[in-house]
Structure 1
Amino acid sequence: MTPRRNALTPESLAMMDTIARTGSFAAAARELGKVPSALTYSVRQLEDALDVLLFDRRSRQARLTAAGEELLAEGRRLLAEMDAVANRVRRVACGWETQLTIAADGLVSRLTLLELCEAFYGLRPDGLEGGPGTRLRLRTEVLNGTWEALVTGQADLAIGVPMDAATSAGIDVRPLGEVNFVFAVAPHHPLAQVAEPLDDADIVRHRAIAVADSAQRLAPLTVNLLPGQDVLTVPSMQAKIEAQLRGLGCGFVPEPLVRDHLRLGRLVPREVRRQRQKGRFAYAWRSAALGSPRKAPQGLALRWWLEQLESPATRAALMDRFPAGAVPSAVD
């Protein structure tokens, strides 16, 4: 370790902060419980180690040089980071994860999800300043991508996985809710004028709008596409709805996300001969190491989120609560 690095101790940085804050060596010495000469000696040692002048000796006040200002600013940042590290270490020791990653399907209400984040950040665990301190990371996935993020370890909690997703050892799955899907087109789309109910022969002649499955390793899901049908593939449900509003194609869309568009006539629901679509979704988390019969220790942050998901009202809001005229956009 270099002499310069040895000189930059938490004590020396705190000393600089105290001198700058109090405005004089004498006031800083009183606050630190030192005699002024000892404080002056400590400052000279720091200046010698860094080979710079930190204070303008021509002034009776403790006036910082440009180098001193830089050291003060960076020193305050380093002290804050040291405190943050110490707090995070203590939180981890108390059972709070350093980071919790949540993968949510594009159908999940971001309004409700962010309100849950707000409640989480407002927690005040006993003895821990500034809340739990767990860093939350939200990911937007589609279809099998939500499940893949969980089983590959990229997420700790998956919200909105297909209810019929393949089970895996060490994964707990609970029902989240159902979403009604409606076949809809723009008012100027040709299918808006075809007699109902529409059959597959009517639909296959028109382009479908499909959302790409975000899975990279698992087999992607294909839903409600007819053999030989032209397809425009888009990256999100938001893009799918926008495409259908423009008349670029047709397809099934989640009723809660297009409720306002249907009410205002921007989209027209059409009865189809095939069975009415309903999606069943779940939430899942890793509960044990793969191949191990023992339960993995569950962090307090994940435990809190699972407790919220036990509420029927919360689950319903995640599936059905969207601002008027809005559809969820990507978070990550």
Structure 2
Amino acid sequence: MLDRETIRSFMKVAKYSNFSKAAEVLHKTPAAISYRIKVLEDDMGTPLFTRTTRSVHLTPAGEHLLEQCQKWLDWIETMPKELKQIESGIERQVNIVINNLVYDQEAVSGLILLLNEKFPFTQINITQAVYMGVWDALLNQDYHFAIGVPGRDTIDNQVIMNYLGSINWSFVTSPDHPLTSKEGTLSESQLRQYPAINIEDTSQKINKRTGWLLRDQKEIKVPDLMTKVACHMNGSGIGFLPTKLCHDYIEQGALVERQVQWNRTPSPLSLGWRTDSKGHVTQWIIDLFEENHPTIQRFSKHLDYMTH
């Protein structure tokens, strides 16, 4: 009913609004083109063209079919290459989750560009997650690869880890915050009076964790890292930020670093991938990190210790 020749005939008639012109372009007789379109309409059970003595025009059904025809032709033409890719072991789809602490728009767009050039028929899906949400995406949401998995050791045998580096944390306040004028190391009793700014863990099935929160302290949850930074700078609350991230803000006087009674320990981050879905694309991304490719270096800009 919809073989390639029928599709081409239909599209040419739609383009030129004329059977004779379509027949001329396709090196067919007008009668042959007209007959093919009539058979198509009969098979479809609906008219695709309205006909006058001088021209033909698409009906609403014909307009819809025309939109689909180009997609079908593109699919037919690319299918041999897609099948060859699948046969060679290249994944049809790769889902990547990235920890918000190392997420970088330029790095992500650069990675997408590289992947699209190297594996043009692989569907690439990338999302961002917070804390144990990265693990949740790998174990429960069909994600194949993760950049910035919390920890150095796997929590599940389905996932292999490759240590990237660690994030050091600095306790910072606004220059105008009441704590800024306090002398010496800040105690828990002093800190507890003010809200802690945290980014909510995005995990759905694994127990959520909190970055830093004292007993009986008010917590304010924000959606992303830069909102947290802004809340520290305007004095909405207190807490820890990645040392490298807040360095320039401290130098500019927008934030003040203070010593506290209990510092936050460094957070190790790793690459992680599922053993049951590793393929050519996944290995290629791992190799990019192993060779410290310029495109992915920005993922590590907040890490204080790196494997390279």
TM-score band by shorter chain is 0.7 to 0.9
Q: Report deviation, 1:86.
A: 5.8
Contact 2:107–2:297 at 8 Å: present in 1 too? no
Q: CA RMSD of the aligned region, Å?
A: 2.8
Q: Report deviation, 1:210.
A: 1.9
1:121 to 110, 116, 138: 116
Counterpart of 2:286 in structure 1 is 306
Q: Report deviation, 1:104.
A: 0.9
Counterpart of 1:292 in structure 2 is none
Alignment CA distance shift 1:166-1:39 (3 Å): closer
Counterpart of 1:112 in structure 2 is 107
Counterpart of 1:245 in structure 2 is 233
1:65-214 equivalences in 2 (<5 Å): 65-67=58-60, 68-83=62-77, 87-110=81-104, 111-123=106-118, 131-164=119-152, 166-214=154-202
Q: Report deviation, 1:265.
A: 2.1
Q: Distance in 2 between matches of 1:198 and 1:313?
A: 42
1:281 aligns with 2:269: yes
Q: Report deviation, 1:119.
A: 1.5
Q: Which runs of 5+ in 1 are unaligned?
A: 1-6, 124-130, 289-295, 323-332
Q: Report deviation, 1:183.
A: 0.7
CA deviations on 1:109-144 (whole Å, 9 max, x unpaired) are 322122111221122xxxxxxx52211111211111
Q: Report deviation, 1:180.
A: 2.3
Q: Report deviation, 1:213.
A: 1.7
Identify the range of structure 1 (223-232 vs 153-162) with the bigger mean alpha-carbon deviation: 223-232
Counterpart of 1:318 in structure 2 is 299
Q: Report deviation, 1:91.
A: 2.9
Alignment CA distance shift 1:41-1:230 (3 Å): closer
Q: Report deviation, 1:316.
A: 4.8
1:18-57 equivalences in 2 (<5 Å): 18-21=12-15, 24-49=18-43, 50-52=45-47, 54=49, 56-57=51-52
Counterpart of 1:328 in structure 2 is none
> Amino acid of the residue matched to residue 219 of structure 1?
N
> Amino acid of the residue matched to residue 53 of structure 2?
R
Contact 1:183–1:252 at 8 Å: present in 2 too? yes
Contact 1:88–1:133 at 8 Å: present in 2 too? yes
Contact 1:182–1:277 at 8 Å: present in 2 too? no
Identify the range of structure 1 (153-162 vs 44-53) with the bigger mean alpha-carbon deviation: 44-53
Q: Report deviation, 1:44.
A: 2.7
Partner of 1:305, secondary structure, is helix
> Amino acid of the residue matched to residue 7 of structure 2?
L
The number of aligned residues is: 299
Q: Report deviation, 1:284.
A: 0.6
Partner of 1:79, secondary structure, is helix
Q: Which runs of 5+ in 2 are unaligned?
A: 304-308
Q: Distance in 2 between matches of 1:239 and 1:165?
A: 30
Alignment CA distance shift 1:313-1:187 (3 Å): farther
Q: Report deviation, 1:173.
A: 0.4
Q: Distance in 1 between matches of 2:88 and 2:25?
A: 34
Partner of 1:176, secondary structure, is strand
Contact 1:197–1:271 at 8 Å: present in 2 too? yes
CA deviations on 1:214-266 (whole Å, 9 max, x unpaired) are 22222222333222322223333233222222211100011333344323322
Q: Distance in 1 between matches of 2:199 and 2:48?
A: 62
Contact 2:196–2:237 at 8 Å: present in 1 too? yes
> Amino acid of the residue matched to residue 51 of structure 2?
D
Q: Report deviation, 1:146.
A: 0.6
Q: Distance in 1 between matches of 2:292 and 2:261?
A: 33
TM-score normalised by L of structure 2: 0.84
Contact 1:109–1:320 at 8 Å: present in 2 too? no
TM-score normalised by L of structure 1: 0.78
Q: Distance in 1 between matches of 2:132 and 2:299?
A: 18
Contact 2:232–2:238 at 8 Å: present in 1 too? yes
Identity %: 26
Counterpart of 1:64 in structure 2 is 57
